[in-house]
Amino acid sequence: MSDLRLHDHEPVSRAHLEQPRLPVVHMHVFDPFWFGYTRLGRFRKTGSVRGRFWLECVEDLRNSLETRGQHLFLRFGMSAAAALQQLTAQVQIATVFTFAEVCSEELQQEAEFEEALRQLGGSAKLVRCWGYTLHHIDDLAQGCGKPPERWINPSLSFGSFKREIRSCRVRPVAAEWQHLPKSGGLSRPPDVDEAWWGDVPSLAALGYSREELCEAEEARSLSAIPWRGGESLALARLQAYIWERRALKQYVGTTDWTANGKCTAPNDQTSKLSPYLAFGCLSPRLLYWEIQRFEKGDRCKGAKGLINSLLWRDFYRFIVHYAWGNRMYHLYGPMNCGSVPGGHKTPTKWCCKHYNNLFGGSDPRLWTWEKNLEKFGKWASGTTGFPFVDAAMLELKQTGYMLHLNRETVGWFFVRDLQTDWRLAAEWFESRLLDYDCVLNWGNWAYFILTQLPAREDDRPGGGPRYTLPRYSPYLMATQVLGWGRDHDPSAGYVKKWIRSLGSLPAELAREPWKLQAGDLDLEPLSDDFWSCATCTLHNPPTNRRCEACNSRRPACSSANTTALGIYAEQPMVPPPPEDSMGLCANCGSVDAGWASEEAVFYCETCWAQWATDTVTLGGDALRARPLSGAELGESQISDGWALVPDAALLGPVGSEGGTAGELAKPPPVAKKGGRWGVRDRTDKVAGG
């Protein structure tokens, strides 16, 4: 089992519905591969914070199965292929049902498992079911009016994807159960010794060090959101968010740039469901239909925003499957011909019309990509000298969480200013994020961060198609570091929370502490110590801004304060933009870095770039690191959460009658036999797994 839930789980449904009835084994393996190390940076693939959440998800799944008379076959310290060998020592396998994968490492694991199944001999087969997305892959051709292969291409934009898919239906929850109303409940598990099923391992048993175990414990105490894994908790959070607090009316989401103050926004502006979606504890279709049910009585803007987040997941999943493939991991990105075997390593104007023209970025092939571990180390440890970046990276390191707005900010800083191989940063996110999702994480880096490299118009002679060239600057190019810091953390409360040494500074200086070195700043005293005049050496009271003897200005920052500020007493690793490059934007009214047009009208960089962009934002449903009222969910709330699942989609106990509600008007479409998925072929004579 991959998605760690029982509701709306097609492999589970198919296994229990296939005729004739055979015993069913539910299997989950903690493969050591996922606790190993990444390819480039050699970071642990699954950090201890996410590892603990994973264990909690599996424990909850096992409990849910046991209440329905089922068991969960658990193994760790071995591959799924090796666990299959142990399984066949006790039972004979007829069919294995699983969710299909699209990312390269997952596909490799799937292929190894299928090869192990083939080597068993006999007629055992592997049936791949399509999951993860809001829209089913079998419905795309009929819903969109043309095969997905014809319109899902490497350069497809999110806006175009939404226009194509809006006519495609979303299936009911657990459609497999609903069109067979008298299912007879679940099949019985095989009659084997109880000890054979196995137990949920500990973090230590999975190979985590003592230091990593301490990190996992500290993360729970530092995080304002007490994340606990499992389907039961996911359903309870969904029920509380939509129905108890009716919080859809407050939902803004992390992808709405127009809503300021995100770092200090109320909790209910985001749903905090992204870890549960990432681990498959919550079906996106159940979330979608609950939103639709809420809108029948109370329409609100937040409903569209949350559904938009689900569409981002669909967009990345389908484009990786149909168009990107392994190109998603290429240095030049999946939309660049340089990532194709035989493609141009150096772009030519006549062939490689800039693939980023929707976003206004320059071609990654024209940039010099370093593998500078010193730069990466400062970025990852939160010691760049830019407090807004550092606070976000410290939050990620210590809690496994980062606001999506901050993911954008630190991503653009890493690519534009550090000009270091972006895949190192993507791997760091993979290691640290609690809600890590392969297609969302790598897709966002490749599609959203890499395609907005600073650009200038092509001034080379020779004509040809419009092209853009890299724009370099000795100063900070990721202006979101300063602009979004002011917009979304105006009081600097977020920065001060994670960087205690800046806690006594005014908001502006906490965000930009290098200004403390400017001699003409008129600052409040930073300590209770007397200060010595640099002109006449007179010792003055700390409340004096000027010397009592010669009227000289008090030094901007005493040596004691400089020591207390640590790295923030020095210039950051990238020089901030000079004050004369800042101005009042004629479009949005914000004070930011930018430049003037030919008509001498000043625009900030964001508005300047937006002219050439499709309106896109980072996908995924984000989390908010703020205190959560009623954060710990009680048993009654968990029970209420399970009540959201339609009766027809609930997996009843062994031998119970299936539900009759929500029967489909017509059965799901049948895939062609021998196709990639083959999940709709009802000619199987045996079932189980």
Confidence at residue 351, expressed as pLDDT on a 0 to 100 scale: 63
Q: How far is the C-alpha of 102 from the C-alpha of 111, rounded, in Å? A: 12
The SS3 call for residue 126 is: strand
In contact, 343 and 393? CB cutoff 8 Å: no
Confidence at residue 422, expressed as pLDDT on a 0 to 100 scale: 97
Q: How far is the C-alpha of 254 from the C-alpha of 403, rounded, in Å? A: 7
Residue 251 labelled as part of a binding site: yes
Residue 274 labelled as part of a binding site: yes
Q: How far is the C-alpha of 256 from the C-alpha of 305, rounded, in Å? A: 8
Q: How far is the C-alpha of 412 from the C-alpha of 414, rounded, in Å? A: 5
Confidence at residue 497, expressed as pLDDT on a 0 to 100 scale: 94
The H or E element spanning position 468 is: strand 468-470
Residue 316 labelled as part of a binding site: no
- Can you list the alpha helix ranges (DSSP code H) found in 5-139? 10-17, 48-66, 80-88, 104-119
Residue 293: CB partners within 8 Å, gap ≥ 6? none
Q: How far is the C-alpha of 273 from the C-alpha of 275, rounded, in Å? A: 6
The SS3 call for residue 546 is: strand
Residue 436 labelled as part of a binding site: yes
**HEC string for 133-188:** CCCCHHHHHHHHCCCHHHHCCCCCCHHHHHHHHCCCCCCCCCHHHHCCCCCCCECC
Buried b / exposed e along 544-563 (16+ C-beta atoms within 10 A): eeebeeeeebbbbbbeebbe
**What values do phi and psi take at 596, rounded to 5?**
-95, 150
Q: How far is the C-alpha of 100 from the C-alpha of 111, rounded, in Å? A: 11
Q: What is the dihedral of CA 283, 249, 497, 629, to 10 degrees?
A: -80
Residue 273 labelled as part of a binding site: yes
Residue 552's closest CA among 539, 534, 566?
534
Strands 95-99 vs 125-129: parallel, antiparallel or unpaired: parallel
414's tokens: 């890493």
Residue 559 labelled as part of a binding site: no
Burial category of 457 from C-beta neighbours within 10 Å (exposed 0-12, middle 13-18, buried 19 and up): exposed
Q: Could you tell me where the beta strands, DSSP code E, fall in 375-519? A: 455-457, 468-470
Residue 649's closest CA among 307, 204, 283, 102?
283
Domain boundaries, the chain: 10-293+622-649
Question: For 77, left (φ over 0), alpha (ψ -120 to 50), or beta?
Answer: left
CB hemisphere CA count around 605 (13 angstroms) = 24
Confidence at residue 561, expressed as pLDDT on a 0 to 100 scale: 52
Which residue's structure tokens are 């201890």?
48
In contact, 511 and 451? CB cutoff 8 Å: no
In contact, 599 and 617? CB cutoff 8 Å: no
Question: What's the CA angle centered on 541, arms 535 and 547, to 5 degrees?
Answer: 30
The SS3 call for residue 420 is: strand
Please give the average pLDDT of every successive group of 10 residues along the chain, which has 689 residues. Answer: 87 87 95 97 97 98 94 97 94 95 96 94 91 95 88 92 94 73 73 93 97 93 87 96 92 66 71 95 97 91 92 97 95 86 73 57 86 96 98 96 92 96 98 97 94 76 63 88 92 94 89 72 50 79 76 62 77 86 67 58 64 36 36 70 72 53 36 35 33
| pTM of the predicted protein model | 0.83
Which residue's structure tokens are 């003897």?
549
Q: How far is the C-alpha of 65 from the C-alpha of 5, rounded, in Å? A: 10
In contact, 653 and 6? CB cutoff 8 Å: no
Helices then strands, each counted (H, E), the chain: 24, 11
Q: What is the DSSP string of 558-606?
A: -HHHHHHHGGGGS--SSPPPPGGGEEE-TTT--EEEEEE-TTS-EEEHH
- Can you list the alpha helix ranges (DSSP code H) found in 274-370? 274-278, 284-297, 301-319
Indicate the DSSP class of residue 657: P
Residue 437 labelled as part of a binding site: yes
Indicate the DSSP class of residue 37: B
Q: How far is the C-alpha of 51 from the C-alpha of 201, rounded, in Å? A: 11
Indicate the DSSP class of residue 654: B
**CATH architecture classification, 10-293+622-649:** 3-Layer(aba) Sandwich (3.40)
Q: Specify the length of the chain in residues.
A: 689
Indicate the DSSP class of residue 258: T
368's tokens: 């010099």
